[in-house]
Amino acid sequence: MNENKSYDIADLSLAPEGKKKIEWSGREMPVLKLIRSKFAKTKPLAGITVACCLHVTAETANLMLTLQAGGARVILYNTNPLSTQDDVAACLVKNYGISCYAIKSMPREKYEKYINSVLNFRPNITLDDGADLIATIHKKRKDLLNNIIGGTEETTTGVIRIRSLEKRGLLKYPLIAVNDSETKYLFDNRYGTGQSTIDGILRATNILLAGKKFVIFGYGWCGKGIAKRASGMGAQVIICEVDPVKALEAVMDGFSMMPSTEAVKTGDIFVTVTGDKSVLDKKHFSFLKDGAILANSGHFNVEINLGALEKITGKKTRVRPMLDEYLLNDGRKIYLVGEGRLANLAAAEGHPAAVMDLSFADQALCVEYLVRNKGKLASKVFKVPDAITDKVARLKLNSLNIKIDNLTPEQKDYLSGWEEGAFG
């Protein structure tokens, strides 16, 4: 690696494969494509530097090209060591001149070092998936604050972190919680994570899901999506939850509900998707059946306590790509998908482009919104403006050639009135 280069990627020669991937994804991202062609004309991001800490996938590449089309200088970095697609990174650097710092399985030291290379571009806008840029700026790089217009956050876990910052009165620039847009969490988290988690598990294991006991930790939007898909593949779904309302929903949706210490005794496959740490912990491991398969689809690789697992492990073997066998000291074998990192990104290709189209259309329009409202927004966590959510949804329906109804003036009146009731 050349320390002077404004990128660090695995292999530039992979660019042609990456280009094919980016174009293939682009085919399923018609809304982002529309925004991109509008950006190319209006250049709303001219002169703006955007630093992005996102999974380096073909879909993300399409977002990068959209921001670039809008006039922005774009830097892309990834804190998840397994989610980078090296060919995509190569193409971004080689074909599009985008600074990219991401190598699949890059060692930890690099992550810590490169975040400074990224921030040294002195970004005006930050895009985060997990809030690592935001956190680093707030912890160590306050010098950058006066350059920053605002930022966005893509995922549930990151939103929890930035709300915590806000609550403690520490937040120093305006942030938009893209995750909380209806055109994001209702689709990306549910249908995206749902399908791609199943996909990751299948590629890693090739096991039959029909008839298996499939335990999901967390019945939020991601958990609901995974449950629906696992059930759609014929698995018996078991849910573990800490929230009583979500637990009741799981029950009424027809799933088994168990305390986690019971679920581990009976499950065949386990997926954590809670946003919290040590969801599968020491107290659970001793009950797992021989042959149990563990996977995580939560943002960080802390949901399965790998340290605790390793302590009781005699020997670890890679039995298939992205699948490790832990031979425990007591003789049981436990299997871990994708090193406990996001199974859909580590073992498959992440969320399908068709849902990322929605999420990243939200992102692109939010960046434009932040720039247009420069200096007018307080240092708070904002929702995605309703107009953006509505616009993204309508563009998507158009692209699918689906028509919906419109309220008549009479119907609008009725909805906004209070006098008309049972007596007419």
Q: Establish if 254 lies at the interface with a copy of itself (CB under 8 A).
A: yes
Candidates 130, 223, 267, 298: give the one binding a copy of itself (CB under 8 A): 130
Residue corresponding to tokens 């749902």: 194
Single residue of 199, 324, 362, 368 touching a copy of itself by CB under 8 A? 199
- Is residue 107 part of the contact set for a copy of itself (CB under 8 A)? no
Closer residue to a copy of itself, CB minimum distance, 291 or 314:
291
Nearest-angstrom CA–CA distance, 335 and 331: 13
**409 near a copy of itself, rule: CB under 8 A:** no
CB 69 to a copy of itself: min, Å: 23
Report how far residue 93's alpha carbon sits from residue 86's, in angstroms, rounded to the nearest whole number: 11
Residue 308 contacts a copy of itself per CB under 8 A:
no
User: Does residue 276 bind a copy of itself (CB under 8 A)?
Assistant: yes
Among the residue ranges 1-9, 206-214, 366-374, 377-385, the one whose residues contact a copy of itself (CB under 8 A): 206-214
Q: Per CB under 8 A, does 320 bind a copy of itself?
A: yes
Give yes or no for residue 2 binding a copy of itself (CB under 8 A): no
**Pairing state between β 323-328 and 313-320:** antiparallel
Among 7, 8, 18, 21, binds a copy of itself (CB under 8 A): 21
Task: Give me the torsion for CA of 36, 39, 45, 46, rounded to 10°.
Answer: 120
Taking the C-alpha atoms of residue 22 and residue 91, their distance in angstroms, rounded to an integer, is 9
Q: Does 192 bind a copy of itself (CB under 8 A)?
A: yes
| 393 lies in the binding site for a copy of itself (CB under 8 A) | yes
208 binding a copy of itself? (CB under 8 A): yes
| DSSP calls for 49-77 | EEEEE---SHHHHHHHHHHHHTT-EEEEE
Binding part of the chain for a copy of itself, among 38-46, 360-368, 376-384, 389-397 by CB under 8 A, reads 389-397
CA nearest neighbour of 381 among 136, 177, 169, 178: 177
Maximum C-alpha span of the chain: 79
CA distance 284 to 294: 12
